[in-house]
Amino acid sequence: MKKLLLCTILVSSFGNLWAQNSNYWQQHVDYKMAVTMDVSTYTYKGTQELVYTNNSQDTLRKVYYHLFNNAFQPGSEMDVRIQNIKDPDGRMVSKVKVGDKEIKESRIKNLKPNEIGFLHVTNFKQDGVTASAKEVGTILEVTLAKPMLPNSKTTFTLDFDGQVPVQIRRSGRNNAEGVELSMAQWYPKLAEFDFEGWHADPYIAREFHGVWGDFDVKITIDKNYVLGGTGYLQNPNEIGHGYQDQGAVVSIPKKAKTLTWHFKAPMVHDFTWAADKNYIHDIAKGPNGVDIHFLYKNNPQYIENWKNLQPLTVKLMEFYNKTVGDYPYKQYSVIQGGDGGMEYAMCTLILGQGKFEGLLGVTAHEMAHSWFQHVLASNESKHGWMDEGFTSFLEDLGMNEVAEKKAQNPFAGGYTGYFSMVNSGKELPQGTHADRFDENRVYSISSYSKGELFLTQLVYLIGKDNLMKTLKKYYSDFKFKHPTPNDIKRTAERVSGANLDWYLTDWTQTTNTIDYGIKEVTENAGQTKVILERIGRMPMPIDLLVEYTDGTTESFYVPLRMMSFEKENPYPAIKRTVLSDWAWAYPTYELNVPKAKSAIKSITIDPSSLMADIKKENNVFKQ
What counts of helices (H) and strands (E) characterise the chain?
A: 13, 33
pLDDT of residue 207: 85
Give the chain's largest Cα–Cα span.
98
pLDDT of residue 391: 98
Contact 570, 608 (CB under 8 A): yes
- Residue 79's nearest CA partner among 65, 95, 60, 93 is 93
Give the CA-trace dihedral at 274, 279, 281, 286, to 10 degrees: -50
CA dist., res. 579 & res. 567, Å (int): 12
CA dist., res. 30 & res. 165, Å (int): 27
Residue 431 amino acid letter = G
- Residue 599's nearest CA partner among 546, 559, 541, 563 is 546
Which residues of the chain register pLDDT less than 70? Answer: 1-22
pLDDT of residue 21: 55
User: What pTM value is reported for the model?
Assistant: 0.94
pLDDT of residue 81: 96
pLDDT of residue 12: 44
The per-residue DSSP string of 299-321 comes to: -TTTHHHHHHHHHHHHHHHHHHH
CA dist., res. 284 & res. 298, Å (int): 18
CA dist., res. 432 & res. 78, Å (int): 18
Contact 411, 380 (CB under 8 A): no
- Whole-number CA gyration radius for the chain: 27
Calculate ∠ Cα 43-49-50, nearest 5°: 115
Contacts (Cβ under 8 Å, ≥6 apart) of 472? 324, 325
**3-state SS track over 332-352:** EEEEECCCCEEEECCEEEECC
The per-residue b/e assignment along 583-618, b for 16 or more CB within 10 angstroms, e otherwise, is: eeeeeebebebebebeebeebbbbbebbbbbeeeee
CA dist., res. 603 & res. 529, Å (int): 12
Q: What count of residues does the chain have? A: 623
- Residue 358's nearest CA partner among 306, 427, 405 is 306
| Helix H or strand E segment including 542 | strand 542-548
Calculate ∠ Cα 469-470-476, nearest 5°: 90
Alpha carbon separation from 347 to 230, 337, 370, 484 (Å, rounded): 6, 11, 8, 24
CA dist., res. 469 & res. 492, Å (int): 8
- Residue 164's nearest CA partner among 65, 294, 71 is 71
